[in-house]
Amino acid sequence: MFVMHTLYDSDAYSVTHMLANAVAIDLPLDALSAGEQLLVLPQLVRHGFEIVDKRSGKEVYLDGSWAEMFQQHIVAWQQNTPTQEEVEDTLERYAELAQNPVVMH
């Protein structure tokens, strides 16, 4: 299960933070104490960012070290509020990596 948070949305770009969560599984009462749940962690916990370039109709998913670098931008933006132009200049550099067409599910 993923929790998704839209961090940025403009005419040109959208940025969504995707967080992998533990999943609570209810087991029969005889297996656990009353009201207790077993948490099952995903094998590979992945947190990442999806950047959609609305102009080109393409998206890129950043995870691992790419996501860590992008997170550093977000922290800097929280400390020093950037202009929309500064944000979009940064997003444009990441969007250059985009090769996947946006597909609606």
Q: Report the predicted TM-score, pTM, of the whole model to 2 decimal places.
A: 0.72
Other Cβ atoms closer than 10 A to 32: 13
> ∠ at Cα 16 (96, 71), nearest 5°?
75
State both tokens at 42: 């995903």
Candidates 1, 2, 84; CA nearest to 50 is: 2
Quick: pLDDT tens for 1-48. Answer: 567 889 999 999 999 998 876 455 555 555 555 555 555 555 556 689
On whether the CB atoms of residues 70 and 60 are closer than 8 A, the answer is no
Counted domains in the chain: 1
For the residues 75-83, what does the mean pLDDT come to?
92
Return the pLDDT at 18.
87
Domain membership of residue 35 as a residue range: 2-101
Q: Give, as one character, the DSSP assignment of residue 32.
A: S
Return the pLDDT at 105.
45
